[in-house]
Amino acid sequence: MTGVTLPDMSSFDESDAFESASLSARAMAARPMPYLNELNPAQREAVERLDGPVLMLAGAGTGKTKALTARIVHLLNTGRAKPNEILAVTFTNKAAREMKNRVGGMLGHAVEGVPWLGTFHAICVKLLRRHAELVNLKSNFTILDMDDQNRLLKQLIVANGIDEKRWPARLLSSLIDGWKNKALTPQKLPAGDAGAFNHRGGELYDQYQQRLRELNAVDFGDLLLHMVTIFQEHPDVLAQYQRWFRYILVDEYQDTNVAQYLWLRLLAGGHKNICCVGDDDQSIYGWRGAEVGNILRFEKDFPGAHVVRLEQNYRSTPHILAAASNVIRGNADRLGKTLWTETEEGEKVRLIGHWDGEEEARWIGEEIEAMQSGTRGLRAMSLNEMAILVRASHQMRAFEDRFLTIGLPYRVIGGPRFYERLEIRDAMAYFRLVVSPEDDLAFERIVNTPKRGLGNVAQQKIQTCARSNGVSLVEGARILLEEKGLGGKGAKELALLLENLARWRGNLIGPQTTLPDDDAVLDDGPDLASPVFDELGGRPTPNAGVAAVGHIELAEIILDESGYTTMWQNDKTPEGPGRLDNLKELVKALENFDNLQGFLEHVSLIMDNESDDAEAKVTIMTLHGAKGLEFPAVFLPGWEDGLFPSQRSMDESGLKGLEEERRLAYVGITRAEEICTISFAGNRQVYGQWQSQMPSRFIDELPEDHVDILTPPGLYGGGFGAASRPTATALDERVANANTYNSPGWKRMQARAGERGMSQPRESKSSVIDASAVSSFTVGDRVFHQKFGYGAILKIEGDKLEVAFEKAGTKNVVASYVTGSDDIPF
DNA sequence: TCCCCATTTGTTTTT
DNA sequence: CAAATGGGGA
């Protein structure tokens, strides 16, 4: 069925399949190794100690990526491993991409690349496709995103007669994610956990896993969970991979969760050639199940582990480094590192307070423009060299608004993602359904989009029919039509849809839902490493010539014939045109793939949207998103208690949460190379309400000697008091108490906030009548309503009024929507 | 069945 | 203040 035959895994071990690679590896052994000379002693040690367990403790900016990359190159150059015998795990796809490029660059010649370099998830997909049957899945399983996951859970909750209001699907979904992060299958779930979610958690989890199996689908957590299960229950399979992956490298080890940890430990169990790189101070994914403990106990897990510390920082100025170090020392339980640098003094960290968030955005905008033109007295910087790092994505809007009005080019990373947009998800659902007709979730999503007269009732019928026949919804719909269980417009439209789906499917190229018998889809031929396909899944399709239409045309046809494009063309909301543009972009993105299947897989895993356009732009992103990146100039706005550190984090995880927030602060500061500007605002709009804000307790932890307090005219607030600076010991004490509310800076700010009357409720349209006014209504009052006009109150029930309108008749309205007619202006 | 608008809800962070 | 949801009217 497939044209290309590649060696499968079993032949791999002993085989000649990669003879050519092996030859070139040997040939490489003789090559000079100039990259070694560019490393400092610690880095060099981490690179050259190839065998046995190695833990590289690499502080921020100490060149860990360089070391990691050099290590891969060294493994290849010394002939120690062939490219495909190296397993390298990164945290993000972006990091994987970068490392691939750097390996190529360092080798100085074209290589086929390191095929097993990717995120845990990407690698697990490849593995799981091979062994899907061991966990009762088919190799062409679909990967659900969170939206699908939630909808599925919602269905289950409702089916179990649980009130979805009180027990929302989102909660269950996060519980299940948590369990999966800990590698807990429903069977292994401790009784305490199973009792969560109104005593039904374990049960629902079990049902959910079962349902996923029926749908031949997995969610994100399953990718790892299933592989761990497979490794645990099939020693032969595990042994095969232990032999295959002779060297293992792991980046961002501090962010691995239990499942990932188990996965690694199993794989490295044989040879123990594992090198983990991480920085406990940069562990910021605890909320996602990451266990800092993994890095802390590495030496116990791998006795005789060699620990290398990278402490020379090449990124930031001493001031920036000092600020970061002083903040992070407030955390207990650190492995402890002493970062040092030889770079020049540079600017102190700058701290500034503002009246409100708007002013903060305005000031930063001006500052960016000044820095861009060099009027700051510093070198002129490109916008590409500047970034604004926020705690939560909703903070981005203020900057977008401001930059839009002043025409400052910016790029948002990690905002609302392309593939999460409604129209893209709809389009993708069509594609999914064409690729796998059994994808019930996709079917549900698009049966009635665009409107086909198939509402709740009709859909219910399809569901019932499918269920009673034990088939997919598409098939169920077909049977339903056959049995004439549906009439009218809906029936006709449904028939047309099914017909279309079948026809589109006929035009599909590439491997379809039938299983590839020789694993050609999964294996890694050289092309997997080509730039176009470097993520995964986008493998050139064998026998591509068979089909009449290319997949790009097919996609266009699908969107066209389904009426989906038309639907948006007829849409009169302002978003319409933008949505059509997005659809065009989606089709364009297909160009990088050879078939729809590959594309769908890509999308399900690659959630970072790269937009590397030529124009220089300021980057706006979250602190989490900034990990691993660096910028000459960094702005850190919103350092206010409750926002950063986030109230929720502290409420939910207490001191642990606060410490994670502090690490986030550390990550933020250490992103800066030359200039780091921290700011806070005294007032901020939260949920549309004005709230007065306290400066972040982290501000009190900044070392005064390394901080410049900027005081532009009209500035409100201003950080710590100059005279009453806490000494280092006082600081230690405060930190130990984990309570900075007593610091001088704190009190000072509080006093200022009060005296300036910082919280000033603002009038808003919807509060023309507030709660007190509501009670002032009396039956018989004449009132005015925006839509219905004038009327008289017939009845009052709490805040609900029954009003007889003169033109619109009698309506029930909420009191806040009407005005007493006396209050009406003009 | 669909559309509109009133009402509720939510904001960390993401592979 | 949004976006998402849900109820009522056409």
Q: What is the pLDDT of residues A298-323, one digit of tens each?
A: 989 999 999 999 999 999 999 999 99
- A59 annotated ligand-binding residue: yes
User: What is the per-residue pLDDT for A118?
Assistant: 92
Task: Examine the pLDDT at A137 and tell me if it is beyond 50.
Answer: yes
Task: Examine the pLDDT at A816 and tell me if it is beyond 60.
Answer: no
pLDDT (tens digit, 9 = 90+) per residue, A725-735?
333 333 333 33
Q: What is the mean pLDDT of residues A734-751?
A: 37
The whole-number Å distance from A326's CA to B12's C1' is 24
The whole-number Å distance from A17's CA to B4's C1' is 65
Task: Examine the pLDDT at A746 and tell me if it is beyond 70.
Answer: no
User: What is the per-residue pLDDT for A24?
Assistant: 47
Torsions phi, psi of A334, nearest 5?
-110, 150
Give percent of chain A with pLDDT exceeding 70: 75
Q: Higher-confidence residue: A199 or A522? A: A199
CATH of region A317-409+617-717: 3.40.50.300
pLDDT band, residue A93 (cuts 50/70/90): confident
Task: Examine the pLDDT at A21 and tell me if it is beyond 50.
Answer: no
> Partners of A143 in the beta sheet?
A218
Residue nearest to nucleotide B14 (CA to C1'): A288
Residue nearest to nucleotide B5 (CA to C1'): A787
Q: What is the mean pLDDT of residues A567-595?
A: 80
User: What is the per-residue pLDDT for A318?
Assistant: 94
- A286 annotated ligand-binding residue: no
E strand intervals along A147-268: 217-218, 247-250
Across all strands, nucleotide nearest A762 (CA–C1') = C1
Q: What is the mean pLDDT of residues A156-173?
A: 85
The whole-number Å distance from A808's CA to C9's C1' is 13
Q: Where do the domains of chain A lie?
A: 31-141+216-312, 317-409+617-717, 781-820
The whole-number Å distance from A172's CA to B13's C1' is 19
Q: Which residues of A161-180 are buried (b: 16+ CB within 10 A; e: fewer)?
A: ebeeeebbbebbbebbbbbb
Question: Mapping DSSP to helix (H, G, I), strand (E, B) and coil, where does residue A98 land?
Answer: helix
Residue nearest to nucleotide B10 (CA to C1'): A687
Q: Which residues of A511-539 are buried (b: 16+ CB within 10 A; e: fewer)?
A: bbbebbeebbbbbbbebbbeeebbbbbbb
The whole-number Å distance from A411's CA to B9's C1' is 29
User: What is the per-residue pLDDT for A633?
Assistant: 95
Q: Which of A39-53, A257-271, A810-824 has the lowest mean pLDDT?
A: A810-824
Q: What is the mean pLDDT of residues A331-342?
A: 86
User: What is the per-residue pLDDT for A777?
Assistant: 62
User: What is the per-residue pLDDT for A810?
Assistant: 56
| Residues of A acting as catalytic residues | 64-65, 251-252, 282, 671
The strand B neighbours among A residues 207-266, by Cβ under 7 Å, are 220
User: What is the per-residue pLDDT for A693?
Assistant: 87
Place of tokens 């491993």: A81
The whole-number Å distance from A238's CA to C6's C1' is 51
- A82 annotated ligand-binding residue: no
Torsions phi, psi of A468, nearest 5?
-70, -25
> Partners of A791 in the beta sheet?
A783, A805
**The domains spanning A31-141+216-312 and A317-409+617-717 adopt the same CATH topology:** yes
Q: What is the mean pLDDT of residues A598-616?
A: 71
* Helices marked H in A49-135: 64-77, 93-107, 120-131
Going by C-beta distance under 8 Å and a sequence separation of 6 or more, which residues neighbour residue A301? A265
Measure the CA angle with vertex A657, ends A653 and A661; round to 5°.
Answer: 160
Question: Mapping DSSP to helix (H, G, I), strand (E, B) and coil, where does residue A697 land?
Answer: helix
Q: What is the mean pLDDT of residues A719-742?
A: 33
User: What is the per-residue pLDDT for A776?
Assistant: 58
CB-CB contact of A692 with A682 (8 Å):
yes
Q: Higher-confidence residue: A135 or A521? A: A135
Residue nearest to nucleotide B13 (CA to C1'): A624
The whole-number Å distance from A425's CA to C8's C1' is 30
User: What is the per-residue pLDDT for A335?
Assistant: 83
Q: Quote the CA–CA distance of A545 and A5 in Å, as a whole number.
A: 17
- A361 annotated ligand-binding residue: no
The strand C neighbours among A residues 739-778, by Cβ under 7 Å, are 764-766
User: What is the per-residue pLDDT for A725?
Assistant: 31
pLDDT band, residue A809 (cuts 50/70/90): low
Q: Quote the CA–CA distance of A351 and A717 in Å, as a whole number.
A: 11
Answer for A393: CB within 7 Å of strand C.
Answer: no
Q: Quote the CA–CA distance of A39 and A47 in Å, as a whole number.
A: 9
Place of tokens 């919602």: A154
DSSP string, A638-686: --BTBBTTBHHHHHHHHHHHHHHHHHHHHHHHHTEEEEEEEEEEEEEEE
Give percent of chain A with pLDDT exceeding 90: 35
Q: What is the mean pLDDT of residues A284-292?
A: 90
Across all strands, nucleotide nearest A154 (CA–C1') = C5
Q: Which of A96-100, A332-336, A382-386 has the lowest mean pLDDT?
A: A332-336
Q: Is the peptide bond between A645 and the residue preceding it cis, with omega within 30 degrees of 0?
A: yes
- A154 annotated ligand-binding residue: no
Q: What is the mean pLDDT of residues A188-203?
A: 87
Q: Higher-confidence residue: A117 or A732? A: A117
Across all strands, nucleotide nearest A764 (CA–C1') = C1
User: What is the per-residue pLDDT for A184?
Assistant: 94
Residue nearest to nucleotide B7 (CA to C1'): A814
Q: Higher-confidence residue: A78 or A414? A: A78
Q: Which residues of A269-295 are buried (b: 16+ CB within 10 A; e: fewer)?
A: eebbbbbbbbbbbbbbbbeebbbbebb
Q: Higher-confidence residue: A428 or A488? A: A428
CATH topology of domain A31-141+216-312: Rossmann fold (3.40.50)
Answer for A393: CB within 7 Å of strand B.
Answer: yes
- A63 annotated ligand-binding residue: yes
User: What is the per-residue pLDDT for A4?
Assistant: 32
pLDDT band, residue A614 (cuts 50/70/90): confident
Q: Higher-confidence residue: A598 or A371? A: A371
pLDDT band, residue A613 (cuts 50/70/90): low
Q: What is the mean pLDDT of residues A265-289?
A: 92
Task: Examine the pLDDT at A537 and tell me if it is beyond 70.
Answer: no
The strand B neighbours among A residues 555-594, by Cβ under 7 Å, are none
Which nucleotides on chain B have any atom < 7 A from a protein Cβ? 1-3, 5-7, 9-15
Q: Quote the CA–CA distance of A541 and A597 in Å, as a whole number.
A: 10
Task: Examine the pLDDT at A393 and tell me if it is beyond 60.
Answer: yes
Which nucleotides on chain C have any atom < 7 A from a protein Cβ? 1-2, 6
- A58 annotated ligand-binding residue: yes
Most confident of A512-516, A590-594, A660-664, A684-688: A660-664
The mean pLDDT value of chain A amounts to: 78
Residue A367, token pair as written in the block: 């500052």
User: What is the per-residue pLDDT for A36?
Assistant: 84
Answer for A810: CB within 7 Å of strand C.
Answer: no
Whole-angstrom Cα Rg for chain A: 30
Residue A489, token pair as written in the block: 């417009």
Q: Higher-confidence residue: A341 or A536? A: A341
* DSSP character at residue A333: S
Across all strands, nucleotide nearest A450 (CA–C1') = B2
Task: Examine the pLDDT at A736 and tell me if it is beyond 50.
Answer: no
Q: Quote the CA–CA distance of A730 and A743 in Å, as a whole number.
A: 9
Across all strands, nucleotide nearest A763 (CA–C1') = C1
Most confident of A594-598, A742-746, A820-824: A594-598
The whole-number Å distance from A801's CA to B7's C1' is 15
Residue A194, token pair as written in the block: 């199973």
pLDDT band, residue A492 (cuts 50/70/90): confident
The strand C neighbours among A residues 164-193, by Cβ under 7 Å, are 165
